[in-house]
Amino acid sequence: MLRIEQIRNVAIIGAGVMGSGIAQTFAQAGYAVRLQARHADSLRAARDRIARNQAAMVRAGLFSGEAARDALARIHPTTSLEEATAGCHFVSESVPEDLDLKREVFAVLDRHAPPGVVLSTDTSGLPISAIASATTRPDLVVGFHWMNPPHLMPTVEVIRGARTADTSMDLTCELARRIGRVPIRVEKDAPGFLWNRLQLALIREALHVVEQGIASPEAVDLAVTAGLGLRWAAVGPLRLMDLGGLTTFHSVAAYLYRDLSKASEPQHTLAAKVVAGETGARAGRGFYDYPAGSAEAAIAARDARLFELLKLLRLPQFRDKDTASPETGAAAGG
């Protein structure tokens, strides 16, 4: 296996929202990036998306224009998976969430990526072990789950498959730190890993609250953005219980758990909207209405809020406007 100091060239497989954001992050941290997609149109769209992301970061004061241009120049697009992986030192796959497709891609990566190179997958919850079984190097396959939007969210999950080596986990965690990300180690290949287990637990209860008429979607969102989200940015749920007193939380859990959602499949409210084509901002309607052009405005507003929160959190990768090199272990724009 390569040492962290030897990693200079990174192959990103898949150029959608996640792949392009991951490519942007590596390039802003000083790495040479080969961004692969099957179609040239996808690569052009990815480059435009990265340029827009960077422009917004420059306007927010998180990145300099010169550093943005330098980072963009480090990203080399290609439609050839073989070209993307030739001589690479780390692979990050971000193709659609389809197990058969990912296994197919990993079988090809296994043939073309140099020996000793870690193959990582940005899956939201597909089993790492099943993806790794398509290769002859399951010890070098690791989950590397980014959160959307990947160029802004500071955390990444690093997930162990059944045969993932400690060295693969350690290398991926250290690489995450060097590109300005906070690695969250997930030591068991459980469905949903950690992030989505926590996120979907809250979403399940949020849907339950709306269905029961306890509160409106607007009230639920406000409770999280102005309440839970603010507090959880300062302290996580387990330390929160310690600080508040376990006796109190035990008492509340004793009477409240029985009344919480026990849904074992997506609730009717969510399923009905999907069937009706009300699939969210891009479709013009979800839990809220989105007139023409407002979906883009909603995303921009989300990102602007994230910019301000990141500044308040004073994370180093969102303060330094100078592009770093891989040797420094610091990232400029994240």
**Domain ranges, residue 299:** 195-313
Question: What CATH number is given to the structural domain containing 69?
Answer: 3.40.50.720
224 with 159, same domain: the answer is: no
120 with 175, same domain: the answer is: yes
Positive or negative, the CA dihedral 46, 124, 228, 287 is positive
Of the three residues 180, 208, 240, the one that is the final residue of a domain is 180
Of the three residues 148, 180, 212, the one that is the final residue of a domain is 180
pTM score of the predicted model: 0.91
The reported pLDDT for the residue numbered 309 is: 87
Counted domains in the chain: 2
23 with 156, same domain: the answer is: yes
Ranges under pLDDT 50 in the chain: 320-325, 328-334
18 with 138, same domain: the answer is: yes
The reported pLDDT for the residue numbered 332 is: 34
204 with 175, same domain: the answer is: no
16 with 72, same domain: the answer is: yes
Helix-, strand-, coil-residue percentages of the chain, each rounded to 5: 50, 15, 35
230-245 pLDDT, tens digit per residue, is 899 889 999 999 999 9
Place of tokens 């330390």: 239
Question: What CATH number is given to the structural domain containing 288?
Answer: 1.10.1040.10
The reported pLDDT for the residue numbered 324 is: 45
Give dist(CA 110, CA 235) in Å, integer: 41
Nearest to 87 by CA among 110, 112, 104, 53: 112
Of the three residues 123, 154, 180, the one that is the final residue of a domain is 180
59-82 pLDDT, tens digit per residue, is 998 889 999 999 999 999 999 999
| Residue 332 resides in a domain | no
- Please say whether the beta carbons of 151 and 33 come within 8 A: no
87 with 208, same domain: the answer is: no
